[in-house]
Each structure stands twice: as structure tokens, then as C-alpha cells.
Amino acid sequence: MPYLGDEHTVRELRRALSNPNVQADHLRYRNTIHRVIRLKLCDVWGQSEVLAVLQRYRPRGEDELFDILSLLDPALLSHHAPVMAATLRLFLSLCSTLPAVCMSALERARGPLLAAAGSTSRELRYAALCHIQLLLRSEPGLMGEHYKRFFCGYAEPPYIKQNKMQVLVELVNDDNVAMVLDELRGYCTDVNTETSQTAINAIGSIGRSYTDRCLAILTGLLGLKQEHITSAVLQTLRDLVWVCPQCGDAVCSALEGWEDNLQDSQGRGALLWLLGVYGDRVTGAPYLLEDCIDGVRSEVSAEVKTELLTATLRLFLSRPAETQDMMGRLLVYCIEEEVDMCVRDQALLYYRLLHCGIEEVRQVLQGGRRSDPSLGPLIGRPPEPISQWASSFNTLEPLTLGASTVGNSDHATPKPSTLTPNTLTSNAEAMTPTPGDPHLPDCSSGALSLSVSPALTPEEFERLWLQLEKGACLEVCVQ
């Protein structure tokens, strides 16, 4: 507790508040609380302590509640960030049943929060930005006209820039989209690769609602021919196409005449996926795939190899004559020589599928392409209720959460990955439906049916396995 002067009173009051006898006597407790609130002579730390203690108090009635709120009102506008944050947290927890009051409290606290977001101390800026992100989950329009405050400064550290870009994506609307996109375009060529990747992802997220402009910017960026930018653009295009299939044309024209050799495995995976899906419209697709197939022995990443398999099979469906030969070579390599079991099993699956017939292949690979509703357009997403995050306001939680997403700025957009056949029965979490997902329960062709539940339960399998003698092989009839 604070040190001198009438901070003695604060100490007494605090002792009184923690005293169970006082707590049991409602009148005494309430009077103590009111004396606590009237202390304006404490310094910053005293006030934060007092507000933290007040968190524990539940007012008896509405009159008392509003009394307390009006007494604490000036503290909401304090330019000391700790006091303002503690008061806001108190308001939000006291008024959890009165949404209008919460809303007006948020609006009044907006000024001091923005001031903290522009303070000289970098760390304070970071804390304010994380909290603003929390606020925007419930009130997306709160900071609308202040979007310029979130433009990144030149010398800011990368983690602040990335946070600011995430906030900018939330603030976009019809009036400011042109300016915001201009700014983001400027950050795409930033010297720091992570920052430029975050900027490109941000443009992709905005592209879900403002597709044309963003596509123009993204395809323009491909012209720079820089490794990290191209890789990020391809991944963003893949995610965008998944949500907005109408951008297929622009993507095809961008892929026309593609010559680059990408080193980054994620970028190559994205490129292969796009070639597979739009292979029939891109003239050079088989030749590009052929280059990749010829180099598959030196390919390190298993993800790229599985993407290559799926893309080749898809292309085979639309252009069989050109692709047949290379697909044969690829399957032979994967089944005979590949070391990674996931890739080998995927290839085996496709081989058996092909034996069943072309119709089955078509159905499995192209049927049931569902979009994930959580990837829908950015605007029009239902806001979360305040109570979901009010308890973590003004604690360290938003900052640790923010830290884990800084490195992985794409947390909201899942990468569609091909499931391996071993996980046929796993329910894909709602975030990662995959194209070409062999796990489709409604395959009604009859000749081939994949069942969701296995023929053997795990316990039976274990029993059978343990019964085996050495050297014998397990023959299980799988219906």
C-alpha cells in the first residue's frame, strides 16, 4: 500500500475491507467502500490498488451502482494508463448486465487508450494495442475514424507493426479501404520479411470483402519477383480463392507464363495447389508440374510431395493426355522409392482409386467442396459479447496471446492440407476442411465406399496384435 500522508487512510481502509467482520456487516462495508472511492489524493499506484480491491465488491442495488460509477467516472479519462485500464475493467465487470453503460464506457475510454497506443514507450504501445484488439472483437466500429493512428511508423519494431496491421484489417470499411490498402501496399516491400508477409496476409484478409482491389495489388506484387513476397502472395491467393472462387480468372492470368523457381516449401505447396485446381485454364500447367515431378527425388518437404500428388491427379482429370505419363512416373516413385509413409500411403490410395474408375476419382477429388463459414467475408461477422473478454482485460493474458500470434500471423486462415489416409476417421476440425478429402461419408456410387468407422475397434486390434507370433503377418479382413 502507498507510503505516506493520507495513504495511511488507504491502508486502514484496505485492512477494513479484508476484515471478515466488516464484510459481514453490510452497512459498514458499504460505507468503507464509499470512503475508498472518494480518495482522490492517492498517487497512480494507490489508485490502481484501490480499483483492484474494488473488483471484489458487489453493489447492493442499482442506485449504489450508479453512485459508484459516477464517482469513478473521471478516472476513466485519466491519462495514466494503469488507472484508466483498471477503471474500465471495473466498469465492465460491474455493468455486465447493462450493455448500454458498457458501450458508453468503452467510448469514453477510447481517447486514453488511443493516447497510450501512441506513447513514446514501445512496450506501453504494445499493451494498448493488444487491449484495443480485445475491444474490437465486440465493437468493430469503435475506432473507425481513428484508423490513421494505426499506420505503422518507420522505426517501430516488427511486433508492433504486425499488431497494428491486424488492427487495420478490422477497421476497414468502404470509406477508408483505398487509403488502408495503399498503406498496406507500402508495407509489403518492407525490409523485414515477416512484416511484409503479415502485410500481404492482411491484404488477403481484406480481399475477402474487397476482392478486386486486393487482387490487383497482389498480382502486381508478383511482378517484383522477390522470393519471400512471391511465396506469401501465393499462399494468400490460395486462401482467397478458397473463400471467393470468383477470383479464379485473375489468378489464372497471373499464373500464365509462370517461370520462377521457388525455394520456400510453403510457397511451392500453394503454387501446386493452385495449379491443380485451375489446371484446365492455365496452359502451361502440365509443363510446370512436369518440372516438379522430375525434381521430386530432391524434394525434401513431405507436404510439397502430397500437394504434388493431389495436383497431378486433378490435372489428370482435366487433361489426361498430357498428364498420364508423368503421373505414372510420380506414382511409381512414390510407391516404390519414397521413404515417408504418409506420402507413400497417399500415392497408394490414389493408385487404388484409379483402379476403381475415373468416375470415383472425380467424385472424391472434386465433390463436396465445402467452404468453411468462419472464413466468410470480414464484414458482417457477428461481434462477440463483451463478457467473453471482459475478465481478461487489464491482465497479462491479451499480451501473451498476442505474442503467440505475432510469429504466426496467419492464425485465422487455415492452410488446407491433404489428410493422410491413416486419419480417415478423424473428424477434421471445422477449421480445416480439405479439398480432395477422401473422408466423405456420402459417396453413393456403390463400387467404392469409404466408411467412417473402422471395421476393427482399437481394443480388438490390440488383442489381435498381441496374439501374433513372431514372423507371422496379420491378416485382417476389412469389410
Partner 1 sequence: MISQVFILSSKGDHLIYKDFRGEAGKDAVNKFYEMVTALTGGQPPVVMKHKELHFVHIRQGGLYWVATTKADASPFTIIEFLNRLTALVKDYCGCLLEKSVQMNFALIYELLDEVVDFGYIQTTSTDILKNFIQTEAVSSKPFSLFDLSNVGLFGADTQQNKVAPSAAATRPIVSSQGEQGSKNEIFVDVIERMSVVIGANVSITDYMVESSLSTYVKMAHFYDLILPNIPNVISLPPPSLLSGYGAAVRVDECSFHQAVRLDEFDTYRILKVCPSQGEQTVMQYQLCDDLPTAPPFRLFPSIERDSGGRLLMYLKLRCDLPPKRSLPLLSLFSPSLFSSLSQELSSPDQSAELQPKNKAVHWEIPRFPGGAQLSALFKLEVSGLSAASLQEVGPVSLSFELPKYTCTGLQIRFLRLSPIQPGPSQRWVRYVTHSDSYTIRI
Of residues 392 and 417, the one with the C-beta less far from partner 1? 392
Query: Which one of 24, 155, 339, 478 is in contact with partner 1 (CB under 8 A)?
Result: 155
Query: Which one of 10, 16, 54, 86 is in contact with partner 1 (CB under 8 A)?
Result: 86
Work out the angle between the directed axes of helices 227-243 and 265-277 (0-180°, nearest 10).
40
- Nearest in space to 61 (alpha carbons), one of 22, 39, 35, 30: 30
121 touches partner 1 by CB under 8 A: yes
> Residues 40-59 vs partner 1: string with x where CB under 8 A?
---xxx--xx--x-------
Alpha helices in 6-43 (DSSP H): 7-18, 20-24, 26-37
Of residues 219 and 366, the one with the C-beta less far from partner 1? 219
Of residues 145 and 256, the one with the C-beta less far from partner 1? 145
Of residues 377 and 407, the one with the C-beta less far from partner 1? 407
- Residue that the C-alpha cell 525434381 belongs to: 295
Q: Find the angle CA(263)-CA(269)-CA(272) to the nearest 5 degrees.
A: 105
User: What is the DSSP code string of 176-241?
Assistant: THHHHHHHHHHHHT-SSHHHHHHHHHHHHHHHTTSHHHHHHHHHHHHTT--HHHHHHHHHHHHHHH
Enclosing H/E stretch for 307 = helix 302-318
**Interface positions, 403-462, toward partner 1 (CB under 8 A):** 403, 406-407
Query: Which one of 59, 111, 284, 368 is in contact with partner 1 (CB under 8 A)?
Result: 111
Core vs surface per residue 26-44: b (16+ CB within 10 A) or e: eeebeebbeebbeeeebee
> Residues 174-213 vs partner 1: string with x where CB under 8 A?
-----x--xx--x--xxxx-x-------------------
Q: How far is the CB of 328 from partner 1 (least distance, A)?
A: 38
From 153-161, 206-214, 297-305, 376-384, span contacting partner 1 (CB under 8 A) = 153-161
From 165-173, 401-409, 432-440, 455-463, span contacting partner 1 (CB under 8 A) = 401-409
Range 368-373, long-range pairs (CB < 8 A, 24+ positions) = 368/437, 368/440, 368/442, 369/435, 370/433, 371/242, 371/243, 371/433, 372/414, 372/430, 372/431, 372/433
Chain centroid, CA 113 distance in Å: 24
126 touches partner 1 by CB under 8 A: yes
Of residues 52 and 443, the one with the C-beta less far from partner 1? 52
Q: How far is the CB of 302 from partner 1 (least distance, A)?
A: 24
Q: Within a 13 Å sphere around the CA of 194, how many CA atoms are in the beta-carbon half? A: 13
Range 362-368, long-range pairs (CB < 8 A, 24+ positions) = 362/317, 363/443, 363/445, 364/436, 364/438, 364/440, 364/443, 365/310, 365/313, 365/314, 365/317, 365/435, 365/436, 366/314, 366/317, 366/436, 367/440, 367/443, 368/437, 368/440, 368/442
158 touches partner 1 by CB under 8 A: yes
Of residues 79 and 411, the one with the C-beta less far from partner 1? 79
Give me 94's grid cell.
460491474
User: What is the DSSP code string of 398-433?
Assistant: HHHHHHHHHS-TTTTSPPP-PPPGGGTTS---TT--
How many residues sit close enough to partner 1 to count as binding (CB under 8 A)?
Answer: 67
Query: Which one of 115, 177, 335, 348 is in contact with partner 1 (CB under 8 A)?
Result: 115
Of residues 42 and 285, the one with the C-beta less far from partner 1? 42
Of residues 14 and 30, the one with the C-beta less far from partner 1? 14
From 143-151, 205-213, 278-286, 377-385, span contacting partner 1 (CB under 8 A) = 143-151
Give me 401's grid cell.
496471446
Residues with Cβ < 8 Å from 408, sequence gap 6 or more?
A: none
In three-state form (DSSP H/G/I as H, E/B as E, the rest C), the secondary structure along 71-101 is: HHHHHHCCCCHHHHHHHHHHHHHHCCCCHHH
124 touches partner 1 by CB under 8 A: yes
8 touches partner 1 by CB under 8 A: no
Of residues 93 and 366, the one with the C-beta less far from partner 1? 93
Q: How far is the CB of 16 from partner 1 (least distance, A)?
A: 17
From 20-28, 120-128, 164-172, 361-369, span contacting partner 1 (CB under 8 A) = 120-128
Query: Which one of 397, 415, 421, 434 is in contact with partner 1 (CB under 8 A)?
Result: 397
Query: Which one of 82, 276, 414, 435 is in contact with partner 1 (CB under 8 A)?
Result: 82
17 touches partner 1 by CB under 8 A: no
**Interface positions, 225-264, toward partner 1 (CB under 8 A):** 225-226
Of residues 160 and 296, the one with the C-beta less far from partner 1? 160
Give residues in contact with partner 1 (CB under 8 A): 1-4, 43-45, 48-49, 52, 77-82, 84-86, 111-112, 115-116, 118, 120-124, 126-128, 148-149, 151-159, 179, 182-183, 186, 189-192, 194, 223-226, 394-400, 402-403, 406-407
